[in-house]
Amino acid sequence: MTGCRPRVLATATAVPPHALDQHAAKHVARGLFAGREDGAIDRLLPMFDHVEVDRRFLCQPVEWYLEHHPFADRNAVYQRWALELGTRAGAAALEAAALSPAEVGSVVFVSTTGLATPSLDVGLMRGLGLVDRYTHRQSMFGRGCAGGVAGLAQASDRARLDPARAVLLVVVELCSLTFRRDDVTTPNIVSSALFGDGAAAAVLVADEQGVQRGASVIGHDMVTWPGTDDLMGWDFGDDGMSVVLSKSIPALVRRELRASFDHACEQARVDPADIRHHLVHPGSAVVLDAVTDALELAPDALARSRSVLRDHGNMSAATILFILDRFLADGVADAGETVALSALGPGFSGEHLLLRW
């Protein structure tokens, strides 16, 4: 067991039914916030034009977000749609991996945009037909945009502990449910311009099973920078979650990310210069610019991250799996190449996962 390397065997994604293009989103925001005495919306509306998002998907019709909904109602919507999308993504990932539910020994569930006790992995197991009462389950909350990479690492660890059975990772984020219609602050408007909803899943197996396809997990590292826990997260109020998002994040990325990335490579005995493919969570276009600068990447190195941002917006933890799914579909990695997955999240922290084809 100690020598096995888990492999990412397959991935899949799912989106809710309501597509919203950026022009329409800006129009809705202008109508909703127009006439405020402070005139803040006139200053903030240009954000919709500069975040490099063309479209995202929402779990509710856009008219729903213009009405008042207390947190209990929002959370009920979260639970219903998280189970729907998570089950769909999980089933598609198992089908892509050519595995049956009976071959899954563990489920890892990641989400930070709603609450449920018992955690929603119980409902996912039921919806996917995972009937073995000894199926291991792990739920992860509070990791925000870094949760997808953290979830892959957790699933990888579980595959090492139970190499005879597959691990199913499911990540669901319904960021739109955190929109606050009476909040004309920069973080809320940025969220309105940037975030979308989506779910993704991945199947991991240990290479002791004789699987020759997929990518091996060869390293994972994380860093939490001291004194930065107020840069990103949620505030909780009667009407739900409101995003905490500091404008100082890009500067921190430029200053600190390279050292954490080099440390991750050192732990995995990989030369950073040998990594040709970088899959980076697109917190925003500005953050991607900062990552490009920090890691001294070519201007087009994060093209897939930008394309997913353009097509789906920032779906928090699920986004990195959308990028990995697109990368796998493109089939551009050669045997022996190392691919780096990186994401930033509340803490303030960074996650790096290294895969070898």
Q: For residue 120, what is the domain's CATH number?
A: 3.40.47.10
**Phi and psi at residue 30, to the nearest 5°:** -60, -45
Query: Mean of the pLDDT values across residues 307-311?
Result: 96
pLDDT at residue 168 tops 50: yes
pLDDT at residue 234 tops 90: no
Name the pLDDT band for 37 (thresholds 50, 70, 90).
low
Q: Which of 70-84, 196-210, 340-354 is least confident?
A: 196-210
Are 85 and 115 members of one domain? yes
Are 296 and 168 members of one domain? no
Domain-terminating residue out of 209, 233, 250:
209
Query: Mean of the pLDDT values across residues 256-270?
Result: 94
Are 229 and 114 members of one domain? no
In this predicted model, what pLDDT tens digit does every residue of 109-141 receive, in sequence order? 999 999 999 999 999 999 999 988 999 999 999
Are 197 and 140 members of one domain? yes
pLDDT at residue 211 tops 80: no
Q: Sign of torsion, CA 115 120 123 128?
A: positive
What's the pLDDT at 160? 92
Distance CA 139, CA 137 (A): 7
What's the pLDDT at 242? 76
Of all residues in the chain, the percent with pLDDT exceeding 90 is 68
What's the pLDDT at 138? 94
Is 1 inside any structural domain?
A: no
Domain-terminating residue out of 157, 185, 209:
209
Is 302 inside any structural domain?
A: yes
Are 36 and 144 members of one domain? yes
pLDDT at residue 202 tops 60: yes
pLDDT at residue 94 tops 70: yes
Quote the number of domains for the chain.
2
Are 164 and 230 members of one domain? no
Query: Whole-number mean pLDDT of the chain?
Result: 90
Is 61 inside any structural domain?
A: yes
Are 135 and 65 members of one domain? yes
Positions marked catalytic: 145
Are 193 and 96 members of one domain? yes
Are 229 and 349 members of one domain? yes
What's the pLDDT at 1? 41
Best CA proximity match to 303, nearest among 276, 278, 329, 339: 278
In this predicted model, what pLDDT tens digit does every residue of 271-297 receive, in sequence order? 998 898 999 999 889 999 999 999 999
What pTM did the predictor assign? 0.92
Are 27 and 136 members of one domain? yes
Query: Mean of the pLDDT values across residues 313-337?
Result: 93
Consecutive H or E run containing 21: strand 18-21
pLDDT at residue 350 tops 90: yes
Q: Which of 144-148, 159-163, 241-245, 323-327 is least confident?
A: 241-245
Q: Per-residue DSSP letters for 65-115? A: GGS---HHHHHHHHHHHHHHHHHHHHHHHHHHHT--GGGEEEEEEE--S--
What's the pLDDT at 30? 78
Domain-terminating residue out of 161, 177, 209:
209
pLDDT at residue 224 tops 90: yes
Is 89 inside any structural domain?
A: yes
Is 276 inside any structural domain?
A: yes
Number of Cβ atoms within 10 Å of the Cβ of 50: 11
pLDDT at residue 187 tops 80: no
CA distances from 104 to 20, 109, 333 (A): 35, 14, 27
Q: Could you list the residue range(s) of the whole structural domain that residue 245 is in?
A: 215-356
Are 342 and 232 members of one domain? yes
What's the pLDDT at 2? 47
Pairing mode, if any, of strands 104-110 and 166-174? parallel
Number of Cβ atoms within 10 Å of the Cβ of 218: 18
What's the pLDDT at 35? 58
Name the pLDDT band for 44 (thresholds 50, 70, 90).
confident
Are 313 and 337 members of one domain? yes
Query: Mean of the pLDDT values across residues 42-64?
Result: 88
Name the pLDDT band for 212 (thresholds 50, 70, 90).
low
